Structure 1
Amino acid sequence: TGPNTLQIRRAGGLEDFSFTDAIIATGGRPSDLPSFRFDGLMVISTKEALELERTPPNLAIIGGGVSGLEIGTFYAKLGSRVVVTEIMEQLLPGTDPDAVRIVTRNLQKLGMEIHVKSQARGWREDKGQTIVDIVTPEGLIARRADIVLVTVGRRPNTDELHAEKAGVQFGPRGHIQVDRQLRTSNPHVFAVGDVVGPPFLAHKATKEGLVAAEVIAGHPVELDVHAMPAAIFTDPEIATVGLQESEAAAQGRKIRVGKVPFAAIGRALTTGEYDGFVKLIADADTKILLGATIVGPDASDLISELTLALEMGASVTDIALTVHPHPTLPEAIMETAEAALGQAIHVLNR
């Protein structure tokens, strides 16, 4: 309501408060589509998808991004017939195509029907059944759906804050603009999490919250994150940090790439989970690590070592010279660093 005042709606009515410093952490919410408006029953968001009391026999998912595939994998394993529609050329747009191909193949093994470069046009009732019409490159198809899950992005929960009354400025998409200390245009109002924009990751929001709290406490700190890891909990998992191969190429960088399949790693073979690989991207001259992609068993756990390596400015030589215990999955990281140097033992060097 003002530069240092706010109003909270409670059961008994409105109550006014004053503050010295405040943190806005109202998060975000899923976005829907004009033809698929959320009703909480037939057309649902990720929130309702995690609260269903019964497994839907037929589940249509609009949006083949992270949330759609994670929840789709879950319900496919419970027995749902899952259809995924993605408007872009591949699932998980922006993710390493080599990794996406492995995940796509495994999703299809689960029985999931996948349509890329396709668009869900709308839904209708036909003889007591709900039908979703999908425009694919091959033409119009119709699929039965007991539930339609829309996962096409998120938007910030800022539209009812009226934070502009406190002098807080917003970006073009409604996200709050902040500096490296998470301060808004009002020096006593901070913002963290989904309200400040992507990537929409819980661990990013946590780190931002810690920085904002330390700044308020008077510590000379700022958000100085060189490497922000991300994990996708499909089967197998995908985890990334830093630059991907396509991003490095788009920047015109000269790079060296190491890639080792889990099928070359003893621990993966003994567990029977060896579909996937580790890929490292390094500067061609300095050999400094630029990024990593892992698809395979425990990818979400393995990525932390490479996140630390990026934060510390390590080279693939540093990683290759670090002894990893045997037999373990992290050996794949050491072996991939060796491959980037042309010194791999269990795969052909290129």
Structure 2
Amino acid sequence: MSDLNCSLLVIGGGPGGYVCAARAARLGVDTLLVEADRLGGTCLNVGCIPSKALIHAAGAFATAQAQAGEGVHGISVSAPKLDFGRTRDWMESVTARLRGGVQGLLERSGVKILNGHARFLDGKTVEVRGETGTTRVRAGNVVIATGSRPVDLPGLPTGGKVLDSTSALALSEPPARLAVIGAGYIGLELGTAFAKLGSAVTLIEAGPGILPQYDEKLTRPVRRRLGQLGMELMLSRKVTGWDDAAGRLTLDGGEALEVDRVLVTVGRVPNTDGLALGELRLHMDGAFVRIDDRCRTSMRGVYAIGDVTPGPMLAHRAMAQAEVVADVIAGHANAWDRLCVPAVCFTDPEIVSVGLSPEEAEAQGPAAVSEFAFRGNGRALTLDDTEGFVRIVARRSDHVILGVQATGLGVSELLAGFTQAIEAGLRVEDIAATIHPHPTLSEAFQEAALAEVSMANHG
């Protein structure tokens, strides 16, 4: 067994871990990063990036199919062909390029990298077991950034024909018949992509609606699109049995579905197994590590960021927390004081949300809500997709913006502006008075503001 010493040990090389390690090292902290698999974590390798690449490719194929029919906008093509192997090669090239970028960033920053599985011996000592042996690392500070993993459905463990999001993205071909259990954002994103690639998709959801974190008005365009794609939606239904050999799902009521693959997307849990957190006796919030506004745990010198901590399981939250921790360990003032964390659902159409919903805002006091539909937006018309709207939620007394939600084509690219408006404490009048370029989808934000403070120009 070899021994290493460092000022900072970061466990996990995902978005939170590698950002924390690189930033701390550039601030002069002697930093070591431990990663059991590939740099970039779930998001880069088997989550955010490959899934969005798949969604893009699926959209391109669906457009080609439409052009091969009656044509679109006067454009007709011959029957398109899907070479999914080449699609997979392209997806993997994207992740490989980004993974190489992470590797280069860490090397340029002076971070030492150790491959292996980490296990706490105490609050300052971690044992790392890798292919080349075991290393004992003693560190002045330790950051837990091990992310999360998919939840198995009881009675339907991953394996064989049963997939989680990771194995779904590794398929060699789109399945002819795919059942997706769970109509949250992961299930809808991947289910829609496979439907566009030609799979017959059935969505099974135990609850009464899709995407429970969003209100019905935001999800209505998505649900409408599911029908247009021929996806079957089964709500308030539960899976009661599975025969892997026969490829048969049994639902409550005795109904059976024969499918080629089952994709289980019923949530994620913190990935802390094997870390021996019991050796630290950390304060927990259920399965999550409790932290303060500097991401400090209950043990001095031990920090936690990202999906292992309470809050939305989003890569950009982990990266923002990583900045805080790196600065604090380097001796600089920083704390988690963000007003909001934006969220995107890359469905068709996309849904975005940041800050308070109308109901949440109203619970704090009288709120003003204004909307503008994309059917009145010139850019949306030129893109031939006018589904959706932008909605602003503000405090009625002073018009300070508390939340923004939107659904529509490409609204994910508008979300940073929505978030900045809340973080900067802008009022609805500020957005209304800001000239937005024409013709762009961003004009819908200004029009929604104008609808509240005076009148929408095109509403």
Q: Same fold (TM over 0.5)?
A: yes
Name the counterpart of 1:49.
168
Name the counterpart of 1:149.
263
Q: How does 1:1-350 map to 2 (within 5 A)?
A: 1-39=121-159, 41-124=160-243, 129-135=246-252, 139-172=253-286, 174-249=287-362, 251=363, 253-347=365-459
What one-letter code is carried by the residue in structure 2 that aligns with 1:131? R
Name the CA distance, whole Å, in 1 between partners of 2:348 and 2:390: 15
Instruction: For residue 211 of structure 1, give the secondary structure of its aligned residue in structure 2.
Output: helix
1:99 CA displacement: 1.1
Name the CA distance, whole Å, in 2 between partners of 1:178 and 1:344: 44
Name the CA distance, whole Å, in 2 between partners of 1:189 and 1:167: 11
1:124 CA displacement: 2.4
Name the CA distance, whole Å, in 1 between partners of 2:219 and 2:375: 18
Contact 1:3-1:167 at 8 Å conserved across structures: no
Name the CA distance, whole Å, in 2 between partners of 1:25 and 1:267: 41
Name the CA distance, whole Å, in 1 between partners of 2:240 and 2:203: 13
Please give the root-mean-square deviation of Cα atoms over the aligned residues, in Å.
1.4
Deviation sequence 1:203-243 (CA, Å, 0-9, x none): 11111111111111111101111021100101110010011
Deviation sequence 1:181-213 (CA, Å, 0-9, x none): 111111211111111133010111111111111
1:142 CA displacement: 2.2
Contact 1:96-1:245 at 8 Å conserved across structures: no
What one-letter code is carried by the residue in structure 2 that aligns with 1:32? D
Name the CA distance, whole Å, in 1 between partners of 2:170 and 2:209: 28
Distance 1:262 1:18, change over 3 A: same
What is the TM-score normalised by the length of structure 1? Answer: 0.93
Paired residues, what number?
339
Q: Which runs of 5+ in 2 are unaligned?
A: 1-120
What one-letter code is carried by the residue in structure 1 that aligns with 2:184? G
Deviation sequence 1:246-268 (CA, Å, 0-9, x none): 3234x153111111110100111
What one-letter code is carried by the residue in structure 2 that aligns with 1:146? D
Name the CA distance, whole Å, in 2 between partners of 1:96 and 1:321: 29
What one-letter code is carried by the residue in structure 2 that aligns with 1:161? L
1:342 CA displacement: 4.7
What one-letter code is carried by the residue in structure 1 that aligns with 2:239? A
- Structure with the bigger percentage of helix: 2
Contact 1:231-1:238 at 8 Å conserved across structures: yes
Contact 1:262-1:277 at 8 Å conserved across structures: yes
Deviating 4+ runs (over 4 angstroms)? none
Deviation sequence 1:110-166 (CA, Å, 0-9, x none): 1111112221222226xx74121223xxx5432221111111111111121112323
1:96 CA displacement: 2.1
The answer to which of 338-347 and 101-110 deviates more is 338-347
Instruction: For residue 255 of structure 2, give the secondary structure of its aligned residue in structure 1.
Output: strand
What one-letter code is carried by the residue in structure 2 that aligns with 1:122? G
Instruction: For residue 288 of structure 2, give the secondary structure of its aligned residue in structure 1.
Output: coil
Contact 1:4-1:166 at 8 Å conserved across structures: no
Name the CA distance, whole Å, in 1 between partners of 2:277 and 2:243: 40
Name the CA distance, whole Å, in 2 between partners of 1:336 and 1:140: 48
